[in-house]
Every structure is written in structure tokens, then in C-alpha cells.
Amino acid sequence: MKIEFTKMQGAGNDYIYVNALKYPLPNPEELAVIWSRPHTGIGSDGLVLIGASDKADFSMRIFNADGSEARMCGNASRCIGKYVYEYGLTDKTEITLDTLSGIKPLHLHVKNGEVNAVTVDMGIPADIHPVDLGENYPYREGIAVSMGNPHLVIFVDDMAQVDLPRVGPILEHHPLFPDRVNVEFAQVIKPGHIRMRVWERGSGITMACGTGACATAVASVYTHRCPKESDIMMDGGTLHIQWANERSHLFMTGPAVKVFDGVILIN
């Protein structure tokens, strides 16, 4: 069976996108693992399925590179906005997306018939609180934030000193987070400008993480490090985050880029 796919990236966070309205994949968990491999597959951070919804314009399912299903991904949400508009699935510039973390409204920034950026209403962050990781861990203090998926934000003075391949998996599996956690390291360059690197649960080191950028901005406001708007600078690019206070919706704006289209065979 031939499956058409599109590889897209948002700030370097790259996924394989399949129109599940046309190609209902029977085993996306397995395919996410096979297709995400960089040398023997397509190479990606995971697989995203675009489907129908009885509550929104479209639905999104995300499978990480290890086959686990994610609840939400900000970068993938933006890319879906670009996909459905440019591939003619909608002509609207205001659409809604049904995710495991709820309905997410998207505003598409269109110029000359192309979507060059998308603003996502990420909802109201939840469960914001400091955590003590314990003296037996490489970092003692962090801020927990839920963006519909769990995050642990750790502020550091020098990002160059963070051994992400070593400490990322240790903190991902910290017993405080029984379902594992996404780990963000953040260095405030100046108020409103934050350098961030991420270890994503199920994927490891990625170039960017939309919900992670949101969690980092939330943690910076919560700890009075930054104002209500911040640019979060990641390995793959920068996202602009707006969040006023704990009762406010958070808005994320950033790029969405098509890398290439392709066809792959499955048995």
C-alpha cells in the first residue's frame, strides 16, 4: 500500500504528516518507530495524523519516535494549520484542532496564498509549582508546568554547562513524574529573551518543543524572571510566547515549514 506523506518542521521540530482522512493507518505506533529512524526510515521526531472530528475542524494524533502517543505538540499544531490550508482541506484562516489536550484554536498568517506563521491558543497552563528533585539528582530545583502534557523547567546560568544527553533521561524518569516528563533547560539572556534546550519524553533531544517553549515562558513569569511576552530561542528556531497571568490563555506564534512530500510503502 502506498502512503503519501509530508515532512514538515516547526522551529526544527520535524514530524511526518499523514492525511488520515485519506489514509487511515492501522498501526501508527509501529509505523512511528519505523519511519522516524534517521538512517533506515524517513527520519523525524515522530508521526502526526490529521483526521476528522465531531468537535472541531480537524483532529490531531501524535506518536513519538518511540511509538508512545503524545497529548499535545505546539509545533505540530502550527504545521497542521499550514497543511490543511495549503493542501486545500480548508479555506479558513481561523480553524480549530481537536487534540488529546482539548480544542486548540489556530490563527493562520497567510501571505500570497502561503501560511508563513501560525498563532495557537494553547489554553490556560495548569499545575504550576516548584519541585524539589532531591539531592541525588544533578539539579535540585525546577518548576513543574502542565501544557496539557507534563513539563519540568530548570533555570541555569550557563547553557553550555548542561550535559543534556546525560541528565535528560535521568530527569525524564524522575519518580515525581510517573508518566515521565519533558525536561527544559532555560537560560535568561535578558528579560524577554530566553535560551532553551529540551529533552522530550519519548523522543530525546529535539531541535524545538512548542509546549516546552510555552512551559518555559510560564515558568519565567511565575518566578518573576521575565515579562508577559518572551522570545524562546531553541536549537531549531525562535517562538514568541504571550502569557499575562495564571488566569489567562497563552498564545504561541511561530513558523511552519514544509520540507518535502513523499510516498512510502507499507505491507
The residue annotated as part of the active site, out of 79, 209, 214, 226, is 209
Q: Clarify whether 73 is annotated catalytic.
A: yes
Closest CA to 246 of 222, 264, 213, 216: 222
Q: Which long-range contacts (CB under 8 A, 24 or more apart) does 135-140 make?
A: 137/170, 137/171, 137/174, 138/163, 138/166, 138/167, 138/170, 138/171, 139/167, 139/171
Closest CA to 15 of 203, 248, 220: 203
Q: Clarify whether 214 is annotated catalytic.
A: no
The residue annotated as part of the active site, out of 73, 79, 214, 226, is 73
Cα 189 from chain centre: 22
Residues contacting residue 224 through CB under 8 Å, at least 6 positions apart = none
Q: How far is residue 75's CA from residue 212's CA, in Å, rounded to a whole number?
A: 10
Question: What grid cell was written down for 75?
Answer: 509545533
Phi–psi pair at 79, nearest 5 degrees: -65, -35
Q: Which residues are catalytic?
A: 73, 209
